[in-house]
Amino acid sequence: MIEVKVPATTANLGSGFDSLGLALDLLLVVRAELGDGEGKVCFKGRGALEMEKDPASNLVIRAMQEVFRKAGEIMPPVDVYIENNIPLGKGLGSSAAAIVAGLYTANALLKDRLDEKELMKMAVAMEGHADNVVPAMVGGLTAVMLEEGEVYYQKLPFPHKLKVIVAVPDFTLPTPKARRVLPSRIDLEEVIGSLQRACFLLASFSTGDFRFLDKAMNDKVFQEARKKFIPGFDEVVREAKKNGALGVALSGAGPSLIALADRDEYLIGEKIKEVWGLHGVNSDVFYLKVHER
């Protein structure tokens, strides 16, 4: 029996749009073995029903098929058991995790015929951007760069002091919808502002000086375009900061929010829940550790 565990991820961290991602200890688990007959797929956990409705298009299975295709093999009947703890469609990398899990599972069935570099390229091609799939594969905090079809990444230390609070609202926001509202062009001043924030964010992580983390995470281009999808966004961010959050941002394409803090994480989580509640949004709050491989 093969077992593959892949973490949830939070991309962007505010200003690192399509560049930064952080793996979190909330897992998608896939177990698989060669089956007889047709092969079965069995779903458990979060989103099991949604996934079950359409196993043929399930990303885990599609990714497995891709690996067999790439290896020039026909996928044999496989019994696949999928246990998902990652909320679907909430900006926590559920699709990246499903793709990575499918690729690893099939590659293990093929006795690791493809190398990690090849799997990473396949994952990025299937997902469309790299900032979730890379930390889902290698864990921790990562910076990615795509150039001429190649995927480059670096792992960075994430400050131990920082606690990650993830607030997940009761509605979904499909990534394609959240990407459609992005500006197709941005002007020089905005490019400079974005670069400055992203550099400052990494500098803050590296020095441990978090005094201006809130400014560094406050992306003014991508997040700005998306916040109309999030009821009470500005007020939730303001109140979280007032209660001790060092920085708050949309998690990936949203609608979840992440807050970073070095104290009072439960107070911050409760505050986000409370303020969102005033805007008619119910939410779950997770206090997560960074997932390292």
The minimum distance between CB 184 and ligand HSE, in angstroms, equals 14
Q: How far is CA 59 from CA 35, 52, 62, 82, 179, in A?
A: 19, 12, 5, 11, 20
- With respect to ligand HSE, which residue has the nearer C-beta, 17 or 205? 17
- Near ligand HSE by CB under 6 A, which window of 78-86, 98-106, 171-179, 241-249? 171-179
CA of residue 61 relative to chain centroid, distance: 19
One character per residue 17-36, x = contact with ligand HSE (rule: CB under 6 A): xx------------------
| Residue 252 touching ligand HSE (CB under 6 A) | yes
14 is in an annotated binding site: no
The minimum distance between CB 133 and ligand HSE, in angstroms, equals 10
Q: Which of 15, 107, 132, 194 binds ligand HSE (CB under 6 A)?
A: 132
| Residue 223 touching ligand HSE (CB under 6 A) | no
97 is in an annotated binding site: yes
The minimum distance between CB 267 and ligand HSE, in angstroms, equals 28
Both tokens assigned to 206? 């590296």
Q: Strands of 208-272 (E only): list them.
A: 247-250, 257-261
Q: Which of 253, 272, 275, 290 binds ligand HSE (CB under 6 A)?
A: 253
| Beta strand 78-84 pairing with 41-45 | parallel
CA-CA distance, 173 to 167, in Å (whole number)? 14
| Residue 94 touching ligand HSE (CB under 6 A) | no
1 contacts 108 by C-beta, under 8 angstroms: no
| Residue nearest ligand HSE by beta-carbon distance | 252
Q: How far is CA 65 from CA 3, 52, 119, 164, in A?
A: 17, 18, 13, 35
Q: Which of 179, 215, 220, 273 binds ligand HSE (CB under 6 A)?
A: 179
Among 291, 227, 236, CA closest to 268: 236
Q: Which residues here bind ligand HSE, judged by CB under 6 A?
A: 11-12, 17-18, 91, 129, 131-132, 175, 178-179, 252-253
